[in-house]
Every structure is written in structure tokens, then in C-alpha cells.
Copies of this chain bind each other. A is one copy, B any other.
């Protein structure tokens, strides 16, 4: 029977680490005293196994624990439940990584479009993709559409809703999508609405956007629930999905696995995350590891596009492209909007900087 490998980082003293690792293996599997289990199949297959423990410095240990893939079934929520359900309640443990057997990864399927698909839709060849965000929330649909118009005039590839835009009384989803889709009807830019609510609501929203000729949407999997996120991906193979990191936290599940591993495996064609040096505290090494994990050859999954965000600016375009190469999407939000009445020019300058970039 195939096994998953869950890799935890545990803050612990050396005398206690073996017992801690064993306790996590039990907690994440049978959750009861192993001595009270007499079923041989459960003992042989279902009880978590500590495969390796090693000290990694700074008072941290890394424990590798294997779990039966049969416990996951075919559900993304149950995968998270098995990997980190109760252990998330221990604030001295983080889920650092997980290795998913190929059969299970194939059940989830990974990106349906990925890097090549998103480039093809934008007619982008091998260059980096550009993205801008429509905000602030609180504006009525017509004003949001004005912002989208300026972005498309500047040549932005993907124009996404701010993740705060939901189905609000001052800007109902249907009216917002209609206004922006009309504005972008003949444009090359792709509009990417933010899809929110329970699974029923998200399905209604996807039906609205499909009717409007839109083929790319954004979902925050930790808000929607990973099972419902994956259900949307599986049921809508024509749609490309950007995953937003809202609620994904920073400290408890390591971002390279969370965004580059899990979200990609569940079908994110692109994952948005904060590049270092912006408004968030991710290190350069973390960002590099997320991008590597999102794009590498793994389990036959298509590459997922890293979308760099979180306080980017035109001035940083060259530096970011040097850092990641061109297989990315660059998202500038507030820094463009600061140009106010010169928004189109600011968008144009951003687009030009991306299109003109050549590796040194």
C-alpha cells in the first residue's frame, strides 16, 4: 500500500524528540494508544511510522513520518486532515513538507493549464506574464471597470479582482463581472474575477463568468476549503485557476509545500505569493523554494506559474526577473494605482519593463 511522507519541524529538546515524533505519528493516524490496537492490518499499515528524525539546528528537529495513502481516499480535505489536522494545534510543530505518491497526485491531477496554458491565452510567447489588481473594494462596478480599462490600455495580460472583492451590496458579483467583462470584451487582457462563498455560490459565480466569456478565475483555497477548491477545478477543466494565499498563514505550513506543492497538486494553474522585500516577511530563500516547487518536474504535473505580489513596483521588475527567470507572472497592485489619472501610463511602463527584459 502506498504511503505519504509528512515532514514536520519540531521545536524540542534532544531527550524528548523521539517520543514527540512517535506521538505525532500516532496523533496523525490512529489517535489512540497503539498498545490497545490488536488489528494486524491497522498495526501494519495504518499506524503512522517514524521513518527518520534528525537535528537541523536552532533547536529544531525534522521528523519524517509515513502515513498510509489509503487513509486519504480521494479527498483534499482529508489529505490536510491526515497531514496536519490535530498536530496543527501544537504551536511548536510546523508541517514542513510532504511527499505524495504519484498515484495520489494523479487523483488530484495538478494544473489543467499551467504555465503554457496561461501564456497561450495571453499570446505571451516565452516572456513573463503581467497582472494587475482591481481595487479598492467599496467602489461601485462602473468605477472598478474604469480601472480595468486603464490596465488593458496599458497592455496588462491578466487583470484580477482584489481578493477583498466578494459579493457585496455596494458591488454585487453579477454587476461587477458584467461591467468589467463588457469593458474588456474586445481587449487582449484576461479578466480574473475572485470567486467566493460556499461551493454553491462559487458554482453560481463560475456560471456567470463563463456566460460572460471569461476563462480564468481566482480562489483562496484555505478560505473556500481545499475540497471545494479541488471540486471546482475538476468540474471546470476549461477554467484556469489562480490560487490566492488568503488565510494560508505563515508559520504553520511551510509556504513551499503549501503553495508550490499542495495548491499546485490540487489544480492551481498559478499561485500568488508575496515576493520578499515587499509588505510581507518571506525570505528570498522561501520565495525561491516556492517557485522551484511550483514549476519543477514532479509526479508528471504541469508547471504552475509563480505570481509575485505583495508590494511590488515597476522599479523591481528587472531584479525579480533576474531572481526567478521569465517563467512567472508579475503582479503589481497598489503601486500602479498610485499613478491615479496616469494609470494607463503606469501600466504601460510596467508592461514595457517586462516585455523588454533580457537575461543579463
Binding site for B on A (CB under 8 A): 23, 27, 29-33, 35-39, 41-42, 45-47, 68, 70-71, 73, 75, 77-78, 80-82, 84-86, 88-92, 133, 135-139, 143, 162-164, 166-170, 196-201, 220, 223-228, 230-231, 245-252, 274, 279-282, 310, 333-334, 337-340
Contacts and interface: CB of A to CB of B under 8 A. Distances in A.
Contacts of A133: 31
A226 B168 CA distance: 18
Contact of A135 (B32, B170, B231): B32
A31 B135 contact: yes
Instruction: Please indicate which of the listed interface residues A45, A133, A143, A200 has the most CB atoms of chain B within 10 Å of its own CB.
Output: A200
Contact of A78 (B88, B166, B228, B274): B166
Given A32-B334, A90-B250, A77 B197 contact: yes
Contact of A81 (B35, B78, B223): B223
Contact of A199 (B169, B200, B247, B282): B200
A43 to B, nearest CB: 9
Contacts of A231: 198-200
Contacts of A138: 30, 39, 41-42, 45-46, 68, 71
Q: How many copies does the complex hold?
A: 2
Instruction: Give the dominant DSSP class at A's interface.
Output: loop
A251 B36 CA distance: 32
A169 B70 contact: yes
B31 A162 contact: yes
Contact of A88 (B41, B163, B247): B247
10 contacts: A30-B164, A31-B334, A32-B337, A73-B168, A73-B169, A78-B223, A197-B227, A198-B225, A199-B200, A200-B231
B136 A30 contact: yes
Contacts of A170: 41, 70
A250 B253 CA distance: 12
Given A90-B280, A139-B42, A227 B250 contact: no
A137 B29 contact: yes
A171 to B, nearest CB: 10
Contact of A340 (B38, B41, B45, B247): B38
Contacts of A85: 163-164, 220, 223, 246-247
Given A30-B164, A162-B31, A168-B71, A334 B36 contact: yes
A199 B75 CA distance: 12
A144 B162 CA distance: 47
Given A77-B196, A81-B246, A197-B77, A136 B32 contact: yes
B333 A31 contact: yes
A25 to B, nearest CB: 13
